[in-house]
Amino acid sequence: MIDSATPTRNEKVALIHGFASTSLLLKRLERQIRAAGFATQRYGYFSLIGDIEAYARRFSETLRKIDEEADVERLHIVAHSLGGLVTRRALQLYRPAHLGRVVFLASPHHGLYAGRFWGGLLNLVQCRAVAQMSDVPDSYVNQLAPPDFEFAAIAATYDHLVPEHSAHLEGCVDYRIYPTMHTALLLRRDVAQDICNYLAQGRFLDATLTKEAI
């Protein structure tokens, strides 16, 4: 973990990556969140084997440990792609006493066509998470209970993995669409600023011409 600034808040942000990814892709976003005064912790997991239930159990244990840290007054979560689904299930398994706000970045809340198309084949090699992200009505993701915590969502216009309608989730406090691609959301300074604004104040602020507020 790279410390780019000394935390000035008693608040920690857990960052979780998506499918076939790594926590290294979260480092730039992490630096910007730390610069806003938050402590951070990147969480990595191997997503090519196993299923969302298993990922969520392990993530819930990490959340429990952070929640028990004496200097953490609020625990926020920033989740990219599959990490958002893992987060939703993890918070059903363990609800941190100090839970703050959650930000979903291009998470397929309503499933993916690719999950329907490739899921059966990938099940043969124990990669069950893809089938669980199918857009069919009875898929795992479409059976998850609606979030009962405060959250915001961000989508990408040119996301060829997670369409905008799947990244939007009813009940979000705020929602914004950026003219960029799926992974590029993690690299944009304006996305990081939106995240920091929301974590600190509960809303995205100061929309610019580079993004579309919904």
Residue 195 maps to a domain = yes
Question: Does a structural domain hold residue 4?
Answer: no
Domain annotation covers residue 57: yes
- DSSP annotation of 204 reads -
- Tell me the mean pLDDT in the region 172-195: 97
pLDDT digits (tens, 9 = 90+) for 75-125: 999 999 999 999 999 999 999 999 999 999 999 999 998 666 555 555 544
User: Residue 2 falls within a domain, yes or no?
Assistant: no
SS3 97: coil
Beta strands in 53-131 (DSSP E): 74-80, 99-105
Q: Is residue 203 packed enough to be buried (19+ CB in 10 Å), middle (13-18) or exposed (0-12)?
A: exposed
Cα-based torsion angle of the residue sequence 137, 140, 141, 143 in order, rounded to the nearest 10 degrees: 60
Residue 3 lies in a domain: no
- Token duo for residue 28: 């730039």
Q: How far is CA 6 from CA 67, 68, 137, in A?
A: 20, 21, 46
Please indicate, yes or no, if residue 200 is contained in any of the structural domains: yes
The verdict on residue 1 lying in a domain is: no
| Whole-angstrom distance, CA of residue 97 vs CA of residue 15 | 18
Domain of 33 in residue numbering reads as: 11-213
The CATH number linked to 201 is 3.40.50.1820
Q: What angle do CA 167, 160, 116 make, to 5 degrees?
A: 75
CA distances from 131 to 4, 21, 30, 52, 193 (A): 38, 17, 30, 10, 33
193: pLDDT strictly greater than 80? yes
| Average pLDDT score over residue span 39-66 | 97
- How many domains would you assign to the chain? 1
In a domain, 5, yes or no: no
Query: For the chain, how are helix, strand and coil distributed in percent, rounded to 5?
Result: 40, 20, 45
pLDDT reported for residue 4: 40
